[in-house]
Amino acid sequence: MVADLHTHTLYSDGILTPEQLILKAQGRGVSFLAITDHDTMDGYRVGESIAKRHNIELIAGIELSCYENGTDHHILGYFLDPDYPRLKTHLAIFRRERMKRAERIVNKLRNLSVNIKLDDVLERAGAGTIGRPHIAAEMVKSGYVKDLKSAFDRFLATGKPAFESKPKFAVAEGIDLINSAGGLAVLAHPGQMSYDKLHMVIEAGIDGIEVIHPSHPLDVRVYYHNVAMHYWLLETGGSDFHGTRPYDDGNFGEFVVQASAIESMINHLAKR
């Protein structure tokens, strides 16, 4: 009985429908699955009834984008109420802001002689929450770059000529929003940040940290396991599956946590 607590569907920047992802989980022996799309819970809503038919325990999840002091922080939320009014309002506003940001990025690219159309980016995003990966994919399709990494390295990453910062949303606000919606807040892939930023997130009141992640080799997992033990934090993990990267398929079903992690999360909620 294993769990993958970090996956994405086409409702954010993944390529699979919720049903396809659930069937994939069934085929790989994943009994507990969290759809943690970026800044939307639409994929979870679609998948909820499908998961029941396939005996997969689907956990209500999200990956909230926080941005402060010029740094991105991704906060995973688990067991939260998708109908919580303040959460719904935040996600609606954030979706509008993402649209405005995408338009500004496309305009910057046009000034750099990268002539992609916003309508094509929107069509690519479909029902998903629009983001830089959709813009990068359109740049690849149009022949301006060879792959997604090149799009980010040359144009879209922080400090590059087409970069546009996200709206400010502090980590503490993200944690509070998830907790207020009845959920647990977990720091995603902490290995991608410095220790001082990690400590800031812990001080902000995070419930747990993602120990198991494809970007964490064994020594990094051991380190974050010890951090979690020291600060009495929950430990989670998952494949961060999108389906857009060469190694995604191999990671799915491999980067998992035991069902006991789910039990610890539920017990933590019960004590709150």
Domain 2-81+171-271 falls under CATH 3.20.20.140: yes
91-156 maps to which CATH number?
1.10.150.650
For the whole model, what pTM was predicted?
Answer: 0.90
CA angle 10, 85, 75 (to 5 degrees): 50
Same fold for the pair 2-81+171-271 and 91-156: no
> What pLDDT does residue 129 have?
79
Per-residue pLDDT of the chain (272 residues; tens, 9 = 90+): 999 999 999 999 899 999 999 999 999 999 999 999 999 999 999 999 999 999 999 999 999 999 998 888 999 999 999 999 999 999 999 999 989 999 999 999 999 999 999 999 999 988 877 889 999 999 999 999 999 999 999 999 989 999 998 889 999 999 999 999 999 999 999 998 888 899 999 999 999 999 999 999 999 999 999 999 999 999 999 999 999 888 999 999 999 999 999 999 999 999 98
Could you tell me the residue ranges of all domains in the chain? 2-81+171-271, 91-156
pLDDT at 113: 97
